[in-house]
Structure 1
Amino acid sequence: MLTLFHAPRSRSTRFLWLLEELGAEYEIKTVDIYRSFGNTGARDPANPHPHGQVPALLDDGVLITESAAIALYLTDKFPAAVIGPVVGDPLRGPYLSWLAYYAGVLEPSVVNLWKQRQDEEDKKTYQLLDDRLRTTLEKTPWLLGDTFSAADILFISLLQFARQMMPPHAVYDDWLARANTRPALARALAKDDA
């Protein structure tokens, strides 16, 4: 049985969405987390994440943490759902690249912007990020062309939470609007606070 350690309105909400897209059976274990915006919450001893954060996923005693790793783990576990290209698929390389790009470029760039601690190099990286993402979405509806994937979920979850952290390009708003029509997202949001 899959167990998602979850805190409402946090990075773990995206995994409610992914699990719903996959049609996976899972249970939700709601845990408390420290939230720096608002300075609330605390580490929950019931949360197995090494830093007391979310998401954390437990699969038959195996702990998986970090968003990109969980996304890859789940899409590999449920290949029939076609939410992540399998090994041998020509889209596998771009998929892995977008997952790594989310963790290694987007998250740090947006956090530095949000905390107002961008130096000149950070500003250049943010501009490159915006250029790459915008030009991709000007050509295709999803990061992998016509194929919706867990990579889209990671990136879009940032827009759902903090749209103002990315420039006001219509392609971002359109991407978000396309995602917001997905039935799996509606089911996930209904479970977010449940």
Structure 2
Amino acid sequence: MTDDLVFYTHPMSRGRIVRWMLEEVGQPYRTEIMGFGTTTRQPGYLAINPMGKVPAIRHGDAVVTECAAILAYLADAFPGAGLAPPAGDRARGPYYRWLFFGAGPVEAAVVNSVLKVQVPDDPQMRGMVGYGSLEAVLDTLEGAVSQTEYLAGDRFSAADLYIGAHLGWGMQFGTIPKRPAFEAYAGRLYARPAAVRAREIDDALIAEQRAATPQA
């Protein structure tokens, strides 16, 4: 078994979150740039992710998809990077809480809002919606990032990276409002050297793709 770390992504996808995590981890990795609807639909990649979506990673024999799962896996696979509270530490509770809050309520609420999905104004029907409402999700996040510098203990973790990436991306494209607490929190995280490196790498890849595209 090889311990090679392979990253499957596209520079204009959620893979930007994983790129940031990989830069924080600081271990060598190889990037495979995938094309939407082209190389992501080929048999070789469908064996990695049958949904034909990016990002994904392969670490030796382990294949992981879904951003939150990839972040959690990398944090545990490379504990020396200090991106997750140690096993047994009570900070592990809020660490998992906010990772999965991002993957569940935040993702669902924001996407449904963009798609203009209306939840029926009926208590029984509304109770079936795990996130309740977009406003409830945003208020919960604002309370969390306003109370402490980091979400899980006294240091930066993969949970901060994931929530910070959601907030930064959402505010950039107008799917999450620019509340002062969100701007302050995401601004601190986006200034981290690994975050800057990750953006530079993906932005350079986007520029290369655009330069290679024939102009009409």
| TM-score with structure 1 setting the length | 0.89
* Structure-2 residue corresponding to 1:180: 190
For residues 134-187 of structure 1, the C-alpha deviation after alignment (integer angstroms, 9 at most, x for no partner) is 011111122225321111211222233221222331000111210121000111
The question of 1:8 aligning with 2:18 is answered no
How many residue pairs end up in the alignment?
Answer: 188
Which of 116, 134, 138 is 2:142 aligned to?
134
Inter-partner Cα distance in structure 2 for 1:145 and 1:79: 16
Inter-partner Cα distance in structure 2 for 1:88 and 1:52: 36
CA contact (8 A) 2:92 2:152 kept: no
Structure 1 residue 43 displacement after superposition:
3.6
* Structure-2 residue corresponding to 1:37: none
RMSD: 1.9
Inter-partner Cα distance in structure 2 for 1:54 and 1:160: 20
Aligned AA (2:118): Q
1:106-185 aligned at under 5 Å gives the runs 106-119=106-119, 120=121, 121=126, 124-163=132-171, 164-185=174-195
Q: Which runs of 5+ in 1 are unaligned?
A: 35-40
* Structure-1 residue corresponding to 2:214: none
Inter-partner Cα distance in structure 1 for 2:201 and 2:25: 15
CA contact (8 A) 2:23 2:197 kept: yes
Aligned AA (1:18): M
Structure 1 residue 65 displacement after superposition:
0.6
* Structure-1 residue corresponding to 2:212: none
Inter-partner Cα distance in structure 1 for 2:39 and 2:32: 16
Structure 1 residue 111 displacement after superposition:
0.6
Aligned AA (1:73): Y
Structure 1 residue 25 displacement after superposition:
1.3
* Structure-1 residue corresponding to 2:73: 73
Q: Which runs of 5+ in 2 are unaligned?
A: 206-216
CA contact (8 A) 2:10 2:33 kept: yes
Structure number with greater Rg is: 2
For residues 1-51 of structure 1, the C-alpha deviation after alignment (integer angstroms, 9 at most, x for no partner) is 1101010121011111111111111111000125xxxxxx67441532221
* Structure-1 residue corresponding to 2:213: none
| TM-score with structure 2 setting the length | 0.80
Relative to 1, partners in 2 of residues 1:42 and 1:31: Cα closer, same or farther, differing over 3 Å? closer
CA contact (8 A) 2:76 2:84 kept: yes
1:50-61 aligned at under 5 Å gives the runs 50-61=50-61
Structure 1 residue 126 displacement after superposition:
1.8
Stretch moving more, 105-114 or 157-166: 157-166
Inter-partner Cα distance in structure 1 for 2:155 and 2:100: 18
Aligned AA (1:77): A
Inter-partner Cα distance in structure 1 for 2:61 and 2:73: 14
Give me the identity figure in percent.
33
